[in-house]
Structure 1
Amino acid sequence: MIISLYNHVFRSKIVPKASEVLQCYIRHRNYPSWTSYFIHQYDCLNDQFGQSHFEFDVDGRNYHVLRTGCFPYIKYHCTQRIKTNDLSYENRLYTFFKIFNLGIPTLMYGLAAIFLIRHHETININQYGPVKIYFLIKENYGASF
């Protein structure tokens, strides 16, 4: 709630929701079997705050999403899978580990990513314009697992 209020009051530009960026990127990639990317926290509204493992539907295709805030980024790892009954247990477990570790590993991951990111792509979000997403390495668009 507080983060959402901050985003709306102190942003100098209007930015898309993180879920909109995720949806647009998956469509842009033509529904890949998996993908993994970073987005700057300041380039989107973090509407999925507190969600670490969840299902996300894009045009009838189900994705399992592992997500973490790793300052100054938000990291997404998405895998196309069949829909499961409930991921709330795993979500709570991952959130517990983040809190138990005081967020230090995720902070270190984000700071390391600053130096390790080697590739970026620009995704055009219709009403918001271009948004950059970042990768540790360039993804092979034809790859599957």
Structure 2
Amino acid sequence: MIKIVKILKKNSAFIFQMAQFSSKPTASEVLTAYLMQCNEPPWTSYFVKYRSVKDDQFGMSNFNWKVGSSNYQILRTGCFPYIKYHCSRRRVEDLGVSDKFMRAIKVVNLGIPCLLYGLAATQLIRHTEIVHTTKGPVTIYFLLPEHKGSHH
């Protein structure tokens, strides 16, 4: 047992690095990285697979998100096998009531429309892009290619 502890102590930095390397980025890191990668676009709308990220924004449906010099109003929903993000560069607003309302609608509908949206998206997605994160590249998905910098 003492020999195992010594080996672990000796190699703990390597083990920690391997654990970090193998872990997934958070959904919020992908969101921030993509918006920065696109030079803070006026808007964007994309899907990311649940299995590609740690879902650190679970339960958040409508919220403000600061990136660089911009604020984004985010509409977010789980639509298995994806998480869907719609991001609009806008001023900061109190979105608390809207967030609670959207969550309530999802609960009342038992998430069925969200599931159907995700299943339909698996057939409708036509474009992908790579987002570079601290945990490695993540593929995000689009129904159509976006014209970067265009307005709604």
TM-score normalised to structure 1 length: 0.88
Deviation at 1:61, TM superposition (A): 1.1
From 96, 116, 125, give the equivalent of 2:104. Answer: 96
Instruction: List per-residue Cα deviations over 1:33-92 (Å, max 9, x = no partner).
Output: 0000000001001000000000000013100000000000000000000111x2110000
- Is the Cα–Cα contact under 8 Å of residues 64 and 92 in structure 2 kept in the other structure? yes
Query: Which secondary structure does the structure 1 equivalent of 2:39 belong to?
Result: coil
| Structure-2 residue corresponding to 1:134 | 141
TM-score normalised to structure 2 length: 0.84
Mapped to 1, the partners of 2:69 and 2:151 lie a distance apart of 19
Mapped to 2, the partners of 1:106 and 1:142 lie a distance apart of 28
Question: Residue type matched to 2:61 in 1?
Answer: S
User: Any unmatched runs of 5+ in structure 2?
Assistant: 1-21
Query: Which secondary structure does the structure 2 equivalent of 1:16 belong to?
Result: coil
Deviant stretches of 4+, over 6 Å: none
After the TM superposition, which residues 33-112 of structure 1 pair with which residues of structure 2 at under 5 Å, given as runs?
Answer: 33-84=42-93, 86-112=94-120
Mapped to 1, the partners of 2:107 and 2:84 lie a distance apart of 17
Query: Which secondary structure does the structure 2 equivalent of 1:46 belong to?
Result: coil
Question: Residue type matched to 2:127 in 1?
Answer: H
Residue-pair matches, total: 131
Query: Which secondary structure does the structure 2 equivalent of 1:45 belong to?
Result: coil
**Structure whose residues are more often helix by fraction:** 2
| Structure-1 residue corresponding to 2:32 | 23
User: Any unmatched runs of 5+ in structure 1?
Assistant: 1-12
Query: Which secondary structure does the structure 2 equivalent of 1:64 belong to?
Result: strand
- Is the Cα–Cα contact under 8 Å of residues 42 and 149 in structure 2 kept in the other structure? no
Deviation at 1:100, TM superposition (A): 0.4
Kindly, what percent of the aligned residue pairs are identical? Answer: 50
Deviation at 1:142, TM superposition (A): 3.2
Does residue 121 (structure 1) correspond to residue 129 (structure 2)? The answer is: yes
